[in-house]
Structure 1
Amino acid sequence: MKKKLIAILVLTVTLTSCQDFLNLKPAYQISDQSFYQNQNDFETALVGVYSTFRGLYSGSVVHYIGELTTDNTEIQWSSPSADEMQLDQNGVTATNAFVRSAWNTCLYTVSQSSNILNRIDAVNFDQTTKNRIKGEAQFLRAISYFYLVRMFGNVPIATQTFTSPAQVAAADLTLKPKEDVYKLILADLTSAETLLPATLTTDKTRASQMTVKALLGKVYLTQQNYDLAATKLKEVIDSKAYSLVADYKTLSTNGNTNLAETILEVDYLSGQTLGNNYSSLFTPAITSMAIFPNNSQGSGRIVPTLDLTKVYEAGDARKGISVSDSVLLIGGKKSYSRYGLKFVDFKAVDPGDGSVSFTILRFADVLLMYAEVLNEQGKTTDALPYINQVRQRAKLPALSALSQADLRLAIERERRVELLYEGHRWFDLVRTGRAQTVLNAHYASQKLNFSVQDFELLFPIPQAEIDLNPALKQNTGY
């Protein structure tokens, strides 16, 4: 009944050494006698957790869930998959492959993180290093559960280490209330905050203390705990560890690693099967297109909506950096076609193997969240300087003398254009209670017979998981 969850939740680790991995037979029998003997073993295991977690971004699951489900993007390609159409048309079913991928990737990351955390204290090595590894593992478990709880609501909580299928079979892997999931998230993050060093690492693919604080601020904001959110977000701002880069374009083009604005990122390397597929997904499926070195075509799967292109204010410097409606063709002519520019590697020989880094958390997000928190606390005037910092870079005039309600809408619009293609839109609209109002109006304006119903604010539990473990009950409405 729990065979699939064994694969996800049992003691598992991704290793950089194939020989080490092949010596562990079967996987659930990984033990203290065969691994986890020293610092290097735990460092290797932690790299494996990061490798698993990046699957949310490398496979564009975050873009399908966070962008294609919204008024930001749509499918332009003539032959999309049924799973893609479900997300684009808000008709997601329990068999959707992208939803299942998110579920499996997050729970696999949870399992790997828990495996490290449950074994590390039994091994003797440098305490400072041990604390860092524990803090990073707690962060990865927390952010994975944060995705899960926002997508599915109630989810299984499995923080133990399993050493046999029998232990998995005996475990309580039923859905737990989302309140309990948030307790675990906060417990992990508050612990990680004390374990990770205050000094920033130059490698922003790894979690730091400030990464934890930024995520804590987002979690508290999602829970509408504005006082605690304000504290954590202000700590990030006051640290002076981050600043807005002068040129918005540098955030999402070649060479965008370890920028002053970046808090957490995923790096890619083309030519070694370590690239991303953004350049294909975000660009048109036109065979005569001449925007890549070998004139490759895109796939047109996640392209900007007409509504999105119209939401930019006049003079917004981000528009020409983020989206285009004119594609260069072989022969020099241009054709009308909307497509995304952010994170597209225009130097890529293969659009499915791009090298532009993807940003998970950045300082502009923190500034906009802090503006939102202050506004919700009734400090609307105090909130304006933080949104205006973001607008100033975009060459837009400062906002002033807005009511609390007007500033809410201004922040919503600012987040939409500032964070386009970064996977925030769906979660922002659900968090603010605006998903149905905004998306149903968007569908109506397009004369589309789609709508977001109450139950669709959560995604369905993957049916394949329920089939293998009936203790998982399907979310209402599916």
Structure 2
Amino acid sequence: MKTRFILTLIIILVGFNSCDEDRLSPTNPNQLGSETFYRTGPQLVAAINSVYAGLQANNLYNREYFFLQDLLSDDCDTGGPQLEAARAQVLNHVFDGSNPLVEANWRGWYRVIHRANLVLENADKATEEITEDLRSRVIGEAYFLRALAHYELVTQWGGIPLMLNTAESPDGNPRASEDEVYAVLFADLTEAINRLPLRSAYTGSDSGRASKGAAQALAAKAHMFRGNYSAARPFLLEIVSSNQYSLVDRYLDNFEEENENNSESVWEIQFSEAFGTAGAWNGNGNGIAEVTFRGQEYGPTAWRNVIPSLPLFNDYERVANGAAKDDPRISYNFFRIGDPFNGGSEVLTVDKVQGDTERASWRKYQMIYKRGAENTQSGINFRAIRYADVLLMMAEVENELSGPSAALPYINQVRARADVAMPPYPTAQYPTSSKIEMFRAIQHERRVELAGEQIRNKDIRRWRRQNLLSSEPIPNWNVRFDKLPIPLSEIDNNSALTNADQNPGY
């Protein structure tokens, strides 16, 4: 869906950005309002495009989403001269409800919810230039995106205020329980699955829209976060049996610009330099710039604010004691001194890298694979859900429900990718004759395959809650960090919340 989002609709949405923004701004009579918009199919498509645009905002995938997820995990460390204070607080687990990074993510997801609500409330008003199939698909996309926002919020904050309608007054909403949020999430995903087409139905500028497979994968993720493997299994089996997805032969095709929306992509966040690079500090996803700062923030020749942690780097298999080979995903995931870049015309040298040059830097999502420097403008899509992730979830589910032999084909399929070709399990380091041994192999494979893809944080959280971690991977973690703090601005501005609604420990 690499297309410039329609600005006409965005203008009318600015006053409704999130639950704690000014809902009472005067309406400009010269602008279209919700009473006069939503009349045609193209307008309805513009409305759903604005929901996707919210994902491109600075407080989500443009910048703050990947920071929050990566710094909360054990896969990242600081690499530049100085990590900004708010980010360092998250990395060191010393944050509270005033942390700007936590607030930014909260605000971003509620903006997505609000925009999805606008689509759901107004979809039936479109009577011109529209088919019922298009209307149903757009409604399905809105349900999926609202479910995505609720998934991100409930898995990190627990119970949250539910906003299932657009705001009509400055009064806020009380905090719902986790069960109530999950009930809404699964109901929305049921609607999305019933309405969305298979991925193969999307072509051209529609590539990247939410599909049935994306909704099924999100449902599986939500059930697995709750430890409900039996509920997750049917969704994963349907994805695998749909023949819509396959692993690509080249691992890096999943993280470079030329091979986006490929056969391994279940769903990805769309970015492009083609639709404006000015104003990359895109505060609200209003379509002024569809680029991400990931390369600039993480790149070895750029700011290098975040680098891979030593525990992650050391978790990759190496040749030792007769092992067959090094895991090639070391070089696919990381840049090290001496590595070529810029299409092979340059070599990474010490003078080009900030900070500790003995440590590796991220390679995923870096534009310097084909150019000399990052410049804060990257159009590389974020692969939010990959088929490799689905296969590894399938392995975990089968191991829990049926045992190691049922899990083995799925985990080995990931290792058998053409340019990875790691020895199949069991290996000397990872025997898999028992459920415990197989689970250890699955944990390893998820870490080395999905490194730097904003997945590790949620994996750790769900495994911790299910008592599946053999040791605590976060050095500064304590029980209060099981959930993030509700932003103080939300408690201050939401009349239905008090300090008693804050998560324990904050």
Give the TM-score, by structure 2 length: 0.81
Tell me if structure 2 keeps the 8 A contact 1:275–1:355: yes
Could you tell me which residue of structure 1 aligns to residue 460 of structure 2?
429
Task: Give the Cα separation in 2 of the matches to 1:331 and 1:61.
Answer: 29
Task: Give the Cα separation in 2 of the matches to 1:359 and 1:23.
Answer: 27
Other structure's SS at 1:37 match: coil
Could you tell me which residue of structure 2 aligns to residue 372 of structure 1?
396
Other structure's SS at 2:266 match: strand
The question of 1:298 aligning with 2:309 is answered no
Shift of 1:279: 1.5
Question: In structure 2, which of residues 404, 421, 432 is the aligned counterpart of residue 395 of structure 1?
Answer: 421
Could you tell me which residue of structure 1 aligns to residue 257 of structure 2?
254
The question of 1:41 aligning with 2:43 is answered yes
Note the alpha carbon deviations across 1:105-148, whole angstroms, 9 max, x for none.
11111111011111212443421110000000000000000000
Other structure's SS at 1:300 match: coil
Question: In structure 2, which of residues 444, 457, 465 is the aligned counterpart of residue 413 of structure 1?
Answer: 444
Tell me if structure 2 keeps the 8 A contact 1:135–1:193: yes
Note the alpha carbon deviations across 1:236-283, whole angstroms, 9 max, x for none.
000110000001121112313111100111232237223221222222
Other structure's SS at 1:176 match: coil
Change beyond 3 A, Cα 1:439–1:343 = farther
Shift of 1:46: 0.7
Structure 2 counterparts to residues 54-453 of structure 1, below 5 A: 54-55=56-57, 57-124=60-127, 125-162=130-167, 164-165=168-169, 168-169=170-171, 173-198=173-198, 199-202=200-203, 203-270=206-273, 272-273=276-277, 274-284=290-300, 297-314=301-318, 315-326=326-337, 328-329=348-349, 336-346=358-368, 347-348=370-371, 349-393=373-417, 394-400=420-426, 401-433=432-464, 442=473, 450-453=475-478
Tell me if structure 1 keeps the 8 A contact 2:39–2:125: no
Tell me if structure 2 keeps the 8 A contact 1:270–1:354: yes
Change beyond 3 A, Cα 1:331–1:201 = same
Change beyond 3 A, Cα 1:77–1:32 = closer
Task: Give the Cα separation in 1 of the matches to 2:6 and 2:272.
Answer: 19
Question: In structure 1, which of residues 14, 17, 20 is the aligned counterpart of residue 8 of structure 2?
Answer: 17
Further displaced range: 27-36 or 112-121: 27-36
Q: CA RMSD in A?
A: 2.7
Tell me if structure 1 keeps the 8 A contact 2:44–2:126: no
Note the alpha carbon deviations across 1:215-251, whole angstroms, 9 max, x for none.
1111121122212211110100001100000011211
Task: Give the Cα separation in 1 of the matches to 2:242 and 2:179.
Answer: 31
Task: Give the Cα separation in 1 of the matches to 2:79 and 2:351.
Answer: 23
Other structure's SS at 2:201 match: coil
Task: Give the Cα separation in 2 of the matches to 1:160 and 1:84.
Answer: 33
Change beyond 3 A, Cα 1:35–1:85 = same
Note the alpha carbon deviations across 1:9-56, whole angstroms, 9 max, x for none.
xxxxx8522896499973599755321122222111111110002336
Change beyond 3 A, Cα 1:20–1:458 = closer
Shift of 1:80: 1.6
Tell me if structure 2 keeps the 8 A contact 1:426–1:435: no
Task: Give the Cα separation in 2 of the matches to 1:50 and 1:266.
Answer: 8
Q: What is the letter of the counterpart of residue 401 of structure 2? A: Q
Change beyond 3 A, Cα 1:241–1:425 = same
- How many residue pairs match? The answer is 442
Could you tell me which residue of structure 1 aligns to residue 286 of structure 2?
none
Give the TM-score, by structure 1 length: 0.86
Could you tell me which residue of structure 1 aligns to residue 343 of structure 2?
none
Task: Give the Cα separation in 2 of the matches to 1:99 and 1:246.
Answer: 37
Shift of 1:207: 0.2
Task: Give the Cα separation in 1 of the matches to 2:480 and 2:193.
Answer: 35
Task: Give the Cα separation in 1 of the matches to 2:26 and 2:126.
Answer: 23
Task: Give the Cα separation in 2 of the matches to 1:333 and 1:174.
Answer: 48
Could you tell me which residue of structure 2 aligns to residue 467 of structure 1?
492
Task: Give the Cα separation in 1 of the matches to 2:260 and 2:161.
Answer: 35
Q: What is the letter of the counterpart of residue 277 of structure 1? A: F
Structure 2 unmatched ranges of 5 or more: 16-24, 278-289, 319-325, 339-347, 427-431
Task: Give the Cα separation in 2 of the matches to 1:59 and 1:439.
Answer: 35
Task: Give the Cα separation in 2 of the matches to 1:338 and 1:175.
Answer: 43
Tell me if structure 1 keeps the 8 A contact 2:116–2:145: yes
Structure 1 segments of 4+ aligned residues over 6 angstroms from their partners: 22-25, 330-334, 434-440
Task: Give the Cα separation in 2 of the matches to 1:407 and 1:457.
Answer: 26
